[in-house]
A and B are shown apart, each in its own frame.
Chain A
Amino acid sequence: MSNVLIVGELKNGELKKISKEITSAGRKIADALGGKVTALLIGSGVEKFAGDLGAVGADSVVTVNAGDFNAETWANLVAGVIKEKNPSVVLVPHTSQGKDYSPRVAVKVGAGIIADAVGLSVDGGKVVAKKPIYSGKAYGNFKVTSPIAIFTVRPNSQEVVQKAGAGAAEAASPSAGDAKVKIVSSDLSGGNKVQLAEASIIVSGGRGIKGPENWPILQGLADILGAALGASRAAVDAGWISHSHQVGQTGKTVSPNCYIACGISGAIQHLAGMGSSKYIVAINKDGDAPIFKVATYGVVGDLFEVVPALTDEFKKVLG
């Protein structure tokens, strides 16, 4: 039996889309290997999401009642459930939380781990994970040879497929242990905005936006589209916006369905962070800018005219 465990993630008490993405991916793997899918949800009141995960392929949902996220206690909880359920494949979101606890889980259960997988297939009874390497300039395919294989999975890389599993919820209470790191305070003032690393649409600005006073032009478009606001390194280094918005090699790696680059020239370090976006729209005055080499749709024009016109047009069709 090759069972699959997926570890879901919540934000502000709501199930994140990545949780459904990896449940569906886990279902496909379990079907190929002839096993069951168990979804694990950690938090308070998480039982209510069992049906949501059942609808996309979870046979059962294990719930663990816990307080706020802490990487060390989460690692203990996840490892505890792995030891109890003994899955051969574990899927974890490649999110800031997933990146924080998954390394500890791998060591605790003696598992090999491949991080940031964008493709998962089965070959000879083993999962093959595909991931971008060398800043997206190559892709690698990897198997894990230990009895338990852990994969962290990039948000937006897996399709959500409606496929009914039983979704029966059962509570578990593995030991959370003590955490050596204490959280003193949190400033989550950016928390209600759409998160860059998991957004399916991103509107991003670069040097071409000319100054911080012009972000509202891009934010207007982002709001209509439910998109996250991104920025190039040039805009961040100029002090126009905080580093948390930066996309690229020294910022966030993103894989949205649609990346709208406004006034971004497309330095190789920026392409390293957004090159795997499915559709790329580039709006730039300079028709020779490198961003046009990767753009699906290129507009050689003034963003201060094109972006507001685009916002108006989307308002018409979406509003």
Chain B
Amino acid sequence: MKIIVLVKQVPDTETNIKVGDKSINEAGIKWIISPYDEFAIEEGLRLREKNGGEVIAVSLGPDRVQESLRQAYAMGADRAVQIKVDNYVPFDTVLTAELIANFAKAENADIIIGGRQSIDSDSSQVVIQVAEGLGIAHISFAVSLEISGTSVKATKEVEGGTQVVETSLPVAITAQKGLNEPRYPNLKGLMAAKKKPIETKTPADLGNPASKIEVVGLEPPPPRIPGRKLEAADAKGYAEQLVKALREEAKVI
């Protein structure tokens, strides 16, 4: 079983974001694997442990993404592939998906698994676009997954609850929180990961897809409505003030 796990490198949640003209200022940013992709890596490793095969971690971007690939190695990935795009635009989902789909096709992958969204672009697009590009099934927001032979059974989160779905390999999956608890790499794994090779592919190797979006510009978030702490003698006083504020000032209730 050949399992491709998608590893997107994103700024750590706690990092301050300084907005440049068309991208962020990367100076001083701490980079992490997008949290949902950690569920994807973990699930890939568990599927391999149960069914055999290999886990290939793939990340798009400049050379800094190799750090995230080494972390995937430390968790237990068998191979790591950087799709080297030096001026990578993290919001360009169609281009990203086409590169990954072409890679997955060349590898003849059985399973492609990524997080339900990345925390930089929040698009929830790439994995399902890969599925469409390959003409294979997809299961989004998976909270449980069982694969035996070529049959796939999963529980997915839907609006208002969950659904149990079935399909067969090959399949693309997006991982939702609850699917598993990602393991921490141990020191030995981290040391070994430093020496493992990282394969590199270029867009030219993968069909040179064209971008379909243009970044017009980035800007800081809009200012919030100025806030204030209310003063009252007791709970009833607070309640009266809040109701008045929400109904007469904010006019939201």
Residues of A within 8 A of B (CB): 11, 71-72, 75, 95-97, 99-100, 102-104, 106-108, 111-116, 123, 128, 131-146, 180-193, 195, 197, 200-201, 225, 243-244, 246, 249-251, 253, 257-258, 268-269, 272, 275-276, 278-281, 287, 292-302, 305-306, 308-310, 312-314, 317-318
Contacts of A103 in B (CB 8 A): 93, 97, 124-129, 131-132
CA distance A128 to B215 in the complex (A): 10
Is B161 engaged at the interface, CB distance under 8 Å to the other chain? yes
Residues of B within 8 A of A (CB): 11, 13-14, 16-17, 19, 24, 35-36, 91, 93-94, 97, 119-129, 131-133, 136-141, 153, 157-168, 177-178, 211-222, 224-230, 232, 234-236, 238-240, 242-243, 245-247, 250, 252-253
**Given contacts A113-B125, A180-B136, A278-B252, are A306 and B238 in contact (CB under 8 A)?**
yes
**Within the complex, what minimum Cβ distance (angstroms) separates A143 from chain B?**
4
**Within the complex, what minimum Cβ distance (angstroms) separates A148 from chain B?**
9
Q: Are B242 and A310 in contact (CB under 8 A)?
A: yes
Q: Are B243 and A107 in contact (CB under 8 A)?
A: no
Q: Are B167 and A181 in contact (CB under 8 A)?
A: yes
Q: Are B253 and A314 in contact (CB under 8 A)?
A: yes
**Given contacts A191-B159, A309-B238, are A96 and B141 in contact (CB under 8 A)?**
yes
Contacts of B240 in A (CB 8 A): 313
Contacts of A293 in B (CB 8 A): 227
Q: Are B229 and A287 in contact (CB under 8 A)?
A: yes
CA distance A146 to B94 in the complex (A): 11
**Within the complex, what minimum Cβ distance (angstroms) separates A254 from chain B?**
12
Other than the given A184-B163, A188-B160, 13 more pairs (CB < 8 A) read A107-B129, A133-B121, A139-B220, A143-B213, A144-B212, A182-B165, A185-B164, A190-B161, A244-B157, A278-B250, A279-B252, A293-B227, A313-B242
Q: Are A181 and B229 in contact (CB under 8 A)?
A: no
Contacts of A272 in B (CB 8 A): 13, 119
29 contacts between A and B (CB under 8 A): A96-B157, A102-B125, A103-B129, A104-B128, A116-B122, A133-B91, A139-B220, A140-B218, A141-B216, A145-B214, A182-B167, A183-B164, A186-B164, A249-B35, A250-B35, A250-B36, A253-B122, A258-B252, A278-B252, A281-B246, A296-B250, A297-B227, A298-B230, A299-B242, A301-B238, A308-B235, A309-B235, A313-B239, A313-B243
Q: Are B229 and A298 in contact (CB under 8 A)?
A: yes
**Within the complex, what minimum Cβ distance (angstroms) separates A197 from chain B?**
8
**Given contacts A138-B221, A146-B212, are A100 and B140 in contact (CB under 8 A)?**
yes
Nearest B residue (CB) for A296: B227
Contacts of A115 in B (CB 8 A): 93, 121-125
Contacts of B129 in A (CB 8 A): 103-104, 106-107
**Given contacts A112-B94, A138-B218, A139-B218, are A278 and B239 in contact (CB under 8 A)?**
no
CA distance A113 to B128 in the complex (A): 13
Q: Are A182 and B212 in contact (CB under 8 A)?
A: no
Contacts of B238 in A (CB 8 A): 299, 301, 306, 309-310
Contacts of B119 in A (CB 8 A): 134-135, 249, 272
Q: Are B163 and A183 in contact (CB under 8 A)?
A: yes
- B138 touches which of A181, A258, A313 (Cβ 8 Å): A181
Q: Are A128 and B216 in contact (CB under 8 A)?
A: yes
Q: Are A201 and B252 in contact (CB under 8 A)?
A: yes
Q: Are A99 and B216 in contact (CB under 8 A)?
A: no
Contacts of B222 in A (CB 8 A): 139
Nearest B residue (CB) for A118: B222
Q: Are A186 and B161 in contact (CB under 8 A)?
A: yes
Q: Are B164 and A180 in contact (CB under 8 A)?
A: no
Nearest A residue (CB) for B92: A112
**Within the complex, what minimum Cβ distance (angstroms) separates A125 from chain B?**
13
CA distance A190 to B238 in the complex (A): 32
Q: Are B220 and A243 in contact (CB under 8 A)?
A: no
CA distance A101 to B118 in the complex (A): 18
CA distance A201 to B226 in the complex (A): 19
**Within the complex, what minimum Cβ distance (angstroms) separates B253 from chain A?**
6
Chain A to chain B: the 3 pairs with minimum beta-carbon distance, closest first? A112-B212, A191-B160, A103-B128
CA distance A189 to B161 in the complex (A): 6
CA distance A97 to B124 in the complex (A): 11
Contacts of B160 in A (CB 8 A): 188-193, 195
Q: Are B11 and A107 in contact (CB under 8 A)?
A: no
Nearest B residue (CB) for A298: B229
CA distance A243 to B138 in the complex (A): 22
Contacts of B122 in A (CB 8 A): 115-116, 131-133, 135, 253
**Within the complex, what minimum Cβ distance (angstroms) separates B102 from chain A?**
13
Contacts of B133 in A (CB 8 A): 107
Q: Are B230 and A187 in contact (CB under 8 A)?
A: no
CA distance A142 to B214 in the complex (A): 6
CA distance A197 to B122 in the complex (A): 14
